[in-house]
Amino acid sequence: MHLYVHVPFCRRRCTYCDFAIAVRKRVPHGRFTAAIQAESEMRRAAGDWPRAPFDTVYLGGGTPSQLAPAAIADLLGTFTWVAGAEITLEANPEDVTEPAARAWVEAGVTRVSLGVQSFAPRVLAWMHRSHEPGAAQRAVTALREAGAAVSLDLIVALPEDLGHEVLDDVERALALEPEHLSVYGLTLEPHTPFGHWVEWDRATPASDDRYAADFLAVHDVLTDAGFEHYEVSNYARRAPGAVNRARHNSAYWSDAPYLGLGPSAHGYQDGTRRWNLREWTAYERAVARGEDPIAGREALTEEQRFLERVYLTLRTDAALAPTDEARCDARALLAAEGRGWLTGGPGRRRATPAGWLVLDELVPALTTSPGGG
């Protein structure tokens, strides 16, 4: 079992962000912790999750590092986890200090996902990020001294008019020697500042060709530097005896059960997905009234589960399960191999980097006529 806790609070909304966040000058540390603890008791009483310890815990957001270290300790103290569990905290560079890093690790955090996004001052300003480039180096140093593993987030496929070379960011990230890198393509969401700028002809998103070029260039540089590209957006440093892949995120891609707590959080178990009220205020009020903060629930059909397994498996470097491959269209499988989108041959087929670029085209082609042809 895996646990995700959504911490919605942010200092400001970034240019591209469409996540469920709550911009606050003062974070309600105690109220948030109390709400999560109350929801967790509801989920236990409803039988939505066992009392067994978790294999991974992930505090995401939002900006979990906006919570006071004592609040993070109280929050994590609500749960139990197995020996050797992966406990991840998302953090912004400006929130990482030596005392905070030590407190996080003492509370149980083993891994910090650091929202660097870029090292270029102009790009950070355009993104409305709160940190300056040097903050990333200071944050990594503090986290290493505290004993936490480090993952860095970067964003690629930026608007052409920024004139930024993405490999500059990749090289600077490599210089910090992280155990893990997440590299995301900038997406255009309608109700974000970036979305409005595009609507008003004040910004132009990167073309598909630019995205593909960035994606493949980053793949080449990072794999040459000793990283395994194990999922569309994720790279883990190869190291003898070490598992640097994000174990929590890997659970999402393998049909594993996970519990989601907090505003907008999703959970999944036995083919049923549920999700909570999106806004912090509505979520807190519901929990305070003793009401389930659920916003929706979906029981997946076997066909939907098949489609999701194919899509999520092909997002990673794993091969399709033989039973799922047998349900795919045989001609489409051969055509995808011929175009360089799949590799491995019958019973071992997996996506290539070129295939990752066209997953939205590839998966429907494979699954339109299940059972082969």
Residue 326: exposure state from Cβ atoms within 10 A (0-12, 13-18, ≥19): middle
- Report d(CA 204, CA 157) in Å as an integer: 11
- Report d(CA 105, CA 111) in Å as an integer: 8
Query: What is the arithmetic mean of pLDDT over 237-262?
Result: 91
Query: Does the domain formed by 2-251 have CATH 3.80.30.20?
Result: yes
Cα of first residue to Cα of last residue in the chain, in angstroms, is: 38
Confidence of residue 372 (pLDDT cuts 50, 70, 90): very low
The pLDDT tens digits for 340-350 are 999 998 989 99
Percent of the chain at pLDDT exceeding 90? 76
Confidence of residue 258 (pLDDT cuts 50, 70, 90): very high
The pLDDT tens digits for 83-129 are 999 999 999 999 999 999 999 999 999 999 999 999 999 999 988 88
Query: For the chain, which residues make up each domain, given as ranges?
Result: 2-251, 302-367
Identify the DSSP state of 97.
-
Residue 261: exposure state from Cβ atoms within 10 A (0-12, 13-18, ≥19): buried
The pLDDT tens digits for 145-184 are 999 999 999 999 998 888 888 999 999 999 999 999 999 9
Render 163-202 in DSSP notation, one character per residue.
---HHHHHHHHHHT--SEEEEEE----TTSHHHHHHHTTS
- Report d(CA 221, CA 227) in Å as an integer: 9
Kindly list the distances between the CA atom of residue 18 and the CA atoms of 22, 27, 200, 319, 367, in Å, as whole numbers in the listed order.
11, 20, 18, 32, 30
**What's the mean pLDDT when you consider all of the chain?**
92
Per-range mean pLDDT, top range of 40-54, 134-148, 160-174: 134-148
